[in-house]
Amino acid sequence: MKLQHHLNLTAFAKGKKRCGSSAGWLIMVDKISQVMSLIKPSNTTKIINLQPVFTKTNEPFHVHKAILSSDPEWDPFNFSVLAIFGEKRELACYKASSETWTLLHYAGSFYDDLITHNGNFYSVDEYGKICEISYSDMSFKVVFEPWYFGGNKVYLVCVDGQLLVIFRYYIDNSYFGYETYKFEVFMLDLTKEKYSMIRKFPEIAIFLGQHHSAWLPADDTKGVIGNSIYFTDDHHSGGTKHDGHDVGLYDMEYNSIMPLQCCDPDGLHSTLCLLTANLVYV
């Protein structure tokens, strides 16, 4: 049975920006001090404050997304955090053992997404280059070279042990400025360094968002439509009044979009914020 939870985090979240949901923790960054905090939604008194991500006088530091290697409650001195940061969307890693951040300049820039898979971090840049980063020593290697595509945003999702890369395509909209019109999904074979396009997955639905992406079995989850991609608006064109409009359901079979602006608050739209007993904040 899948559970929905409604939590009031107003007091904790004041002055902070959400930048991830990972291993059952919310990840937030203070807009002034740049201190990154981890909060356990199942126990709101459980808060871990990390060292500031970046310290440079009068220059704001922006974290686009961050993920955890493991649940800090399991091993509070041996977890890592990987983050996409800054204007060039570079990578930085925090090690709990040393309480320090390391900027991974050698990894390049313009990353779109991060994920944990098979005991390692994986990252993908806007060109489709996929990299593997070790939890332990932050060693880095490219596992898939970038390939050409016409998309605008790239996501990584682990579905039942299989790593997927998903390309999201935008088109111009005269009123909103942009809107999503299609997705392409590929399954990765990391051992053979090959990939194949997936055109349907009727048993599941995929949920995409800036802070976390996930999947649910369609047959076991009331209201969830299989062979679909549910997506939130994470384009962030610059703080305009139209940001947040691009929310919908993409039907893989018919390559069509159904808007989700007006969902029953007790129904599926709530699922986009909290999925299952483990928090997923998209």
Question: Could you identify the residue written with the tokens 């050698």?
Answer: 106
More confident position, 242 or 173: 173
What confidence score (pLDDT) does residue 269 get? 38
Last residue of a domain, one of 107, 130, 147: 147
- Do 166 and 194 belong to one domain? yes
- pTM check: above 0.75: yes
**How many percent of the chain have pLDDT more than 90?**
43
Query: CB–CB of 232/169 below 8 Å?
Result: no
- Do 111 and 160 belong to one domain? no
For the sheet with 63-68, list strands across it. Answer: 63-68, 80-85, 90-95, 100-103
- Do 139 and 95 belong to one domain? yes
What confidence score (pLDDT) does residue 3 get? 44
- Rounded Cα distance between 18 and 149, Å, is 29
Q: Report the domain count for the chain.
A: 2
Q: Is the pLDDT of residue 60 over 50?
A: yes
Report the sign of the C-alpha dihedral through residues 7, 39, 162, 151, in that order: positive
- Do 7 and 130 belong to one domain? yes
- Do 45 and 103 belong to one domain? yes
DSSP E strands in 23-70: the ranges are 25-30, 35-40, 43-52, 63-68
Last residue of a domain, one of 119, 147, 175: 147
- Do 139 and 158 belong to one domain? no
Query: CB–CB of 39/26 below 8 Å?
Result: yes
pLDDT tens-digit readout, 86-109: 889 999 999 999 998 999 988 999
**What is the arithmetic mean of pLDDT over 110-114?**
95
Look up the domain containing 174 and give its range.
Answer: 149-282
- Do 137 and 163 belong to one domain? no
Last residue of a domain, one of 128, 147, 166: 147
